[in-house]
């Protein structure tokens, strides 16, 4: 091959070199449009690689999740059930109507010679037990409402996290497609140079391998995006509906956070903690109610009795008071004490676990935030400058294809790592917002 090239006319070699330079210049604007730009704003929209006109914004995703998420609907139904239980607890026991015929003669069917009784028995709840029962139901309703609010925070955080994953994967697909385009242009350029006798066949083969790898990366990125969209649809509660992409961006410049302020917000506003505390109140009120159950309720009876044989009308009055000799509700009182201690232990456990999660996410947030700043302010500009210099040198003949390939691969890996770091940072933001019930904004 080398001997064959050596005998070609010089004019023909210069003509092919000129063609190669024109090809390289043709793709440089597209290449530099990726590389240039210090502050990289990660947007889900891309005009060249827009998947479809049907895009889901984060506001639409949140609104749909609040309306359709089955877990949130379940907790709302639980609140309705608690309201029904509270309504039932406020109802007083029904009176008992008694109709009784006694001493009916066997030789005459009827009430003419029997003793006939019509009476009403009304249970009287003593010891304030009815009020305590109502109080337990009220606190149970409040606890269910707080649990519903906690689930709402979880659903909102999960929706944000699923949305951010889709944004990152969509941006990753955009980068993968641009790398594929560059690899294709490089392959065509190296093929022209090989035809002109300026490079060996190995350059063409390497370029073809890189193009195949770029195409595989695009396929993988498309699969990741589809999985992320499916995950978002599931969290929203619409797994059967379809949309082709998301419309939004990741936070790139979140500010510094104060752990002390986050802890105060969590203690004051976290509904899951409030629900746990409400569980203590319910257990203590229930224990008081169990102790009051030892006080027996009273049944009052009033009625009319007709003595048919004597032709006498009588009035019946009575009172029933159970004697608590054996059953003084000892077992339920013991159970109530144990449940009260259990509720306190669970509350402490819930607080410790949420505080651990907050501190863990806070530390991870600071680490990831520093990584994002390092990428944005130092690593990305250097990778972009290297790409610019090597590309210019390749055009002028100072660097060969391998140098350009290495710097292009480094630039792509750097961009992908930056997107991954941004995604992790935004996932941590969603978790911290859920735990501390606060909003983290960009600087």
How big, in percent rounded to 5, are the helix, strand and coil portions of the chain? 70, 10, 20
- pTM for the full predicted model: 0.79
The structural domains of the chain, ordered by start, are 2-436 (1.20.1600.10)
Q: Are 330 and 372 contacting, i.e. CB atoms less than 8 angstroms apart?
A: no
CA atoms within a 13 Å half-sphere pointing along the CA-CB vector of 327: 6
Residue 154 has pLDDT above 60, yes or no: yes
Flag whether pLDDT at 1 surpasses 50. no
Q: Give the C-alpha separation, 335 to 224, whole Å.
A: 52
Secondary structure of residue 314 in the 3-state scheme = strand
Note the pLDDT of residue 111. 67
Round to whole Å and give the CA distance between 127 and 290: 11
- State the pLDDT at residue 277: 96
Mean local confidence (pLDDT), 343-363 = 97
For the residues 384-391, what does the mean pLDDT come to? 86
Q: What pLDDT is stored for residue 89 in this prediction?
A: 95
Confidence of residue 395 (pLDDT cuts 50, 70, 90): confident
Closest to 162 in 3D by CA, of 214, 107, 239: 239
- CA atoms lying within 13 Å on the CB side of residue 141: 15
- Give the pLDDT of residue 341: 97
Residue 346 in tokens:
């669970």
Residue 122 clears pLDDT 80, i.e. is over it: yes
On the question of pLDDT at 56 being above 70, the answer is yes
Q: What is the pLDDT of residue 194?
A: 87
pLDDT digits (tens, 9 = 90+) for 277-320: 999 999 999 999 999 999 999 999 999 988 877 788 889 899 99
| Token duo for residue 102 | 């006694």
Is the pLDDT confidence value at 120 over 70? yes
Measuring CA to CA, which residue among 180, 170, 177, 175 is closest to residue 226? 170
- Does the pLDDT at position 214 exceed 80? yes
In the prediction, which pLDDT does 125 show? Answer: 94
Reported as a pLDDT band with limits 50, 70 and 90, residue 406 is confident
Q: What counts of helices (H) and strands (E) characterise the chain?
A: 11, 6
pLDDT at 10 (0 to 100): 39
**Distance, first Cα to last Cα, the chain:** 61
Can you say whether residue 197 is alpha, beta or left, with left for phi > 0 and alpha for psi between -120 and 50 degrees?
left
- The pLDDT assigned to 407 comes to 86
User: Which range is least confidently modeled, 17-26, 107-116, 320-329, 408-417?
Assistant: 17-26
Q: What is the pLDDT of residue 344?
A: 96
Q: Is the pLDDT of residue 57 over 50?
A: yes
Reading across the β-sheet that carries 312-320, which strands appear in turn?
96-102, 115-124, 298-307, 312-320
Residue-level pLDDT at 110: 66
- Higher model confidence: residue 252 or residue 146? 146
Looking at the chain, the whole-number percentage of residues with pLDDT higher than 90 is 62
Residue, of 9 and 440, whose pLDDT is higher = 440
The answer to which of 58-62, 92-96, 207-211, 223-227 has the lowest mean pLDDT is 207-211
Structure tokens at 235: 């969290």
Residue pLDDT, tens place only, 176-204: 998 898 888 888 888 888 888 887 888 88
Q: Is the per-residue pLDDT at 42 higher than 60?
A: no
The SS3 assignment for 411 reads helix
């Amino acid at each position: 091959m080398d001997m064959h090239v050596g005998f070609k006319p010089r004019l023909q070699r210069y003509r092919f070199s000129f063609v190669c330079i024109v090809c390289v210049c043709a793709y440089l604007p597209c290449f530099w449009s990726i590389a240039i730009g210090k502050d990289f704003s990660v947007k889900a929209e891309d005009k060249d690689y827009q998947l479809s006109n049907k895009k889901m914004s984060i506001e639409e995703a949140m609104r749909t999740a609040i309306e359709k998420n089955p877990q949130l609907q379940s907790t709302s139904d639980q609140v309705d059930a608690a309201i029904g239980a509270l309504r039932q607890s406020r109802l007083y026991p029904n009176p008992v109507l008694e109709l009784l015929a006694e001493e009916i003669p066997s030789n005459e069917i009827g009430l003419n010679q029997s003793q006939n009784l019509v009476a009403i028995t009304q249970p009287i709840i003593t010891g304030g037990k009815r009020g305590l029962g109502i109080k337990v139901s009220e606190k149970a309703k409040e606890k269910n409402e707080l649990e519903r609010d906690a689930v709402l925070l979880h659903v909102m955080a999960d929706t944000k996290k699923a949305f951010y994953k889709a944004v990152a994967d969509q941006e990753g697909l955009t980068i993968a497609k641009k790398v594929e385009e560059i690899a294709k242009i490089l392959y065509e350029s190296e093929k022209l140079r090989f035809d002109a006798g300026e490079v060996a066949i190995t350059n063409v083969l390497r370029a073809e391998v890189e193009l195949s790898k770029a195409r595989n990366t695009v396929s993988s990125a498309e699969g990741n995006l589809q999985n992320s969209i499916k995950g978002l649809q599931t969290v929203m509660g619409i797994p059967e509906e379809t949309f082709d992409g998301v419309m939004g961006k990741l936070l790139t410049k979140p500010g510094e956070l104060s752990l002390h302020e986050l802890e105060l917000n969590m203690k004051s506003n976290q509904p899951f903690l409030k629900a746990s505390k409400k569980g203590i109140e319910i257990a203590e009120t229930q224990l008081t109610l169990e102790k009051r159950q030892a006080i027996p309720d009273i049944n009052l009876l009033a009625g009319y009795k007709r003595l048919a044989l004597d032709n006498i009308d009588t009035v019946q009055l009575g009172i029933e008071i159970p004697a608590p000799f054996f059953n003084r509700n000892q077992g339920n009182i013991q159970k109530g004490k144990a449940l009260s201690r259990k509720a306190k232990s669970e509350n402490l456990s819930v607080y410790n676990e949420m505080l651990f999660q907050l501190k863990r996410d806070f530390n991870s947030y600071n680490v990831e935030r520093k990584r994002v700043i390092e990428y944005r302010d130092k690593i990305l500009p250097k990778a972009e400058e290297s790409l610019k210099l090597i590309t210019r040198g390749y055009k002028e003949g100072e660097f060969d294809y391998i140098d350009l390939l290495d710097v292009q691969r480094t630039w792509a890996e750097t961009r992908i790592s930056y997107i991954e770091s941004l995604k992790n940072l935004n996932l941590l933001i969603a978790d911290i917002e859920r735990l501390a019930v606060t909003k983290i904004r960009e600087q």
